[in-house]
Amino acid sequence: MTAKRLLATLCILLTTTSLCHAETEMADIMRSNGKIYVVVAVLATIFAGIFVYLLMLDRKITKLEKTNK
């Protein structure tokens, strides 16, 4: 009897916890709208800009090093 009750309680606990997990809020809706890719594009653009900036700075310093030799 006690074993059965324990099993039942365990089952209920397990299902409720799994339900809780299913209800965890994630960005699914945002992604189904496809708008998340806009954010990715913006971030990629910013990072590309930083990369180009660093690259130009690097080349400028290389030029400076050559003229100073």
Binding of another protein at residue 24 (CB under 8 A)?
A: yes
Binding of another protein at residue 44 (CB under 8 A)?
A: yes
List, as one string, the DSSP characters of 8-66: HHHHHHHHHHHHHHHT---THHHHHTTTHHHHHHHHHHHHHHHHHHHHHHHHHHHHHHH
Task: Give the shortest CB-15-to-another protein separation in angstroms.
Answer: 17
Which residues of the shown chain bind another protein in the complex (CB under 8 A)? 20-21, 24-27, 36-37, 39-40, 43-44, 47-48, 51, 54-55, 57-59, 61-62, 64-65, 68
